[in-house]
Every structure is written in structure tokens, then in C-alpha cells.
Amino acid sequence: MNIVVWIESKAGEIKSPAIEALGVARKLADSTSGEVTGVVCDGAGTAIPDQIMTAGAHHIVTRTRDDWDTCGNDTIAREIMGVCESRNAQMVVCAATSAGKEVLSLVAGGMGIPVAADCVDVSVNDGTVEFERPIYAGKAHLRQKVHSDRVALSIRPNYGEKLTVDAAACQEEAGAAEKGWNRTAFEQGSTGQVELTEAEIIVSGGRGLKEPENFKLLEELAEVLGAAVGASRAVVDLGWRPHSDQVGQTGKTVSPKLYVAVGISGAIQHLAGMSSSRTIVAINKDAAAPIFGVATYGIVGDLFEVVPKLQSDLKAVLQ
């Protein structure tokens, strides 16, 4: 089975979840005697880091154009479709970031093939592709078989496998796909943080923080951990944090290596959005808070005492 993988990059930097998507693709390709072709959509001469070179691709194609800065995801999708066609791809894979899901749905729509988002497991048995993905923000897991000889799948970040294989052969091809959108501006936010859905560590706060200004405590903790900052629906609805920070069924579903919930009681829709995190730490003064039901480690106590100590102790240990 020939597999094409979109290696997501932004301003010349390749995003780390792509490594896992390549790993998943390589294992599937090996089990079906196919090849993996990675696609980078970026300018000519973009450096491919060693980590990506050896992450699973047999070939890496960089679709170059001078105007990538002003292209939307629709153009990326069309460039990938071009590679899929020339490589006779039976499967298209990428990391299930917000851009990844949009690009892949457009690729699938353009190619007329089905697409499944956020897969946590993919296998091929007797030529039939089967995948598992969380639904209802993780309250349930869905396993499905694909009735199509071609399919597109996005892999949930932190669920793939990092491989190290022989380095890929690289080549550049000039991109020529049409543009539906013109990207006229990009304004970097003040936080400049990684997307929640891609973060390896998330520090999240809720109403227990009492005042929006107190999120500063979490930002300091996040800085020490190299983490992104998330928020509960309650504080987003209060206008303390932007909606893009919201974790939960009506916000982002996240699955980091480490999720630190501070002053979050754990409403069912919040738990749904984060309970697939590998390790969960809960800090809350209410020992009966539902968040402790999913926490790997809990500290019962006043967050205004616990968090500063955690921050300074971690700083001493990690730096």
C-alpha cells in the first residue's frame, strides 16, 4: 500500500506530530509492502531535520512555491493531491492538528475518498483498513472498517509511534495548484504558544483561580514545563481566557503526555476532552472534585500555595 503523508510545517519549521504520523504510515506500508512518500509544502531549499528524514518516509517531496505565505490550506490540499496522483497513493495520512484535519478533509473531498479524523489506532488486515478513533470527545471509542480501496486518516498527536529508519530520498517539485483563498495576514498572538492539540504538556486552569489575573501563576508554571496553557469552559465563558484555549467537548480534545488541571472541578464535558492524556495531575482544594477520579496524581490543597511551590521546585529540578 503506497501512503502519502503530509509533513506539516509552518514558516519553514516542521511540526513534531508529523514524526508520529510518518511512523504510523511506515509500519502500515511495511506490513503491506508499500512505500511512504512525505510531502512538505514550503519554499525551495527548506531544510528537512534529521528527525523527520529518518521518521519513516522512503521519499520526501517538497512542493515548492514562492507564494506559500499567502496560500490557504486549500492550496496545500491540492498540492498533496498532485503527489497522491503521481505516487498512486492508496492512503493519505497526516497528524490530526487543526490544520491537518482541514487539509486532509479537503484532500479526501477532492479525491472522492473517505476520511477519518483523530485515529488512535490503524491496522490493515487482509487488505482491509481498520481504525479506532475517540468520539463524543473520548466518552466512547469507535472502531470501523473501511469499504473503499483508498482512504485518508489523520493520527491524533501523542498516539503515533516514533521510528528511526534509513533516511528518506529528498526531491523538490515546483507546486502549481490554484488558490481558493488568499492569506492576507498572520498576526502572532502574545503567547506564541503551541496549539493545545499538539502540545506534549498542558497546564489548565478553572474557576478555582478566582481572578483572570491569576492565570499568571499557570503561565509561569507552563514556562518552566514548556507547556501550553488551557482553560475550562467556565472561565472561557466568563471571558477570562480566549475560546481557543478551551479544553473539553465544546472546545479542544487534547491528549498530551502530561495534563495539569489546576482549580478545575471536572465537569463531564471537560473530563471528556482531556481524560485520554497519559498522565493527569489535579490540584484542587475540594477532595470530592470529580477531577480526582481521572487524575493519576492528585494534590488536595490551596492552589495559591501549591502552584508557586511546584513552579519553583520544578524550575530548580529542570533548569
Partner 1 sequence: MKIAVCIKRVPDTATRLNFAADGTSIDQSEVQWIISPYDEFAIEEGLRLKEKAGEGTVTVITCGPASATKELRQALGMGADDAVHIQTEDDLDPVQIARCLSQILESRGDDLILFGRQSVDAQGSQVGALVASQLGRPFANSIASLEVDGATVRIERDVDGGRETLEGSLPVVLGADKSLNEPRYPKLKDIMKAKKKPIETVEAQPGERAFETSAITPPPPRPEGRIVGEGPEAVEELIRLLREESKVI
Residues 12-71 that bind partner 1 (CB under 8 A): none
Q: How many other C-beta atoms can be found within 10 angstroms of the C-beta atom of residue 139? A: 14
Give SS3 for 291: helix
For partner 1, the closer CB: 21 or 299: 299
Secondary structure letter of residue 252 according to DSSP: B
Choose, by CB under 8 A, the member of 98, 167, 170, 220 that binds partner 1. Answer: 98
Rounded Cα gap, residues 179 and 104, in angstroms: 16
Contact positions with partner 1 (CB under 8 A) in 211-240? 225
Q: Is 268 a residue that touches partner 1 (CB under 8 A)?
A: yes
For partner 1, the closer CB: 144 or 164: 144
Rounded Cα gap, residues 82 and 305, in angstroms: 56
Choose, by CB under 8 A, the member of 192, 211, 288, 319 that binds partner 1. Answer: 192
Choose, by CB under 8 A, the member of 50, 66, 85, 302 that binds partner 1. Answer: 302
Q: Is 288 a residue that touches partner 1 (CB under 8 A)?
A: no
Cα distances (Å, whole numbers) of residue 125 to 2, 35, 280: 15, 17, 34
Backbone φ and ψ of 241, nearest 5°: -130, 155
Stretch touching partner 1 by CB under 8 A, among 33-41, 44-52, 53-61, 131-139:
131-139
- Rounded to the nearest whole angstrom, what is the least distance from the CB of residue 297 to partner 1 in the complex? 5
Single-letter amino acid code for the residue at 293:
G
Q: Is 142 a residue that touches partner 1 (CB under 8 A)?
A: yes
Sign of CA pseudo-dihedral 84, 87, 92, 94: negative
- Rounded to the nearest whole angstrom, what is the least distance from the CB of residue 147 to partner 1 in the complex? 6
Cell numbers representing residue 97 in the block: 492538528
